[in-house]
Amino acid sequence: MAYAIVRAGGKQFRVKPGEVIKIPSVAAEVGDSVELEALLAGDGDTIEVGSPALEGRSVTATVVEHGRDQKVIVFKKKRRKQYKKTRGHRQNFTAVKIESIG
């Protein structure tokens, strides 16, 4: 099965064709096609590694939806000092379906 390591939004993801992944928010409409930068591509026994990216290889994906991820709670406390602080954060994401690696 073919797979690739792609970079999107400063993070790296391992993807296969037909897979749906959540990447940091991308400025594209639902249904649009986006190109992701391929850092590594593998197909069975052969593996191609770029430095840092593969020349002439990219991963094509289609935007499925935009949304916000689950809330992450940030809680700070210093014992015996009566100091407590709670913050929440929700990260925006774009769900994309991997169409082809090539």
| pLDDT score recorded for residue 43 | 86
Q: Cα angle at 1 between 46 and 29, to 5 degrees?
A: 110
| pLDDT score recorded for residue 51 | 86
Mean pLDDT of the residues in the chain: 93
- What does the alpha-carbon distance between residue 81 and residue 79 come to, in Å, rounded to a whole number? 5
| Percentage of the chain lying above the pLDDT 70 cut | 99
- What does the alpha-carbon distance between residue 24 and residue 14 come to, in Å, rounded to a whole number? 15
Q: Tell me the two tokens of residue 88.
A: 């929440």
| pLDDT score recorded for residue 48 | 83
* 7-54 pLDDT, tens digit each: 998 999 999 999 999 999 999 999 999 999 999 999 888 888 988 888
The answer on pLDDT for 1 being more than 80 is no
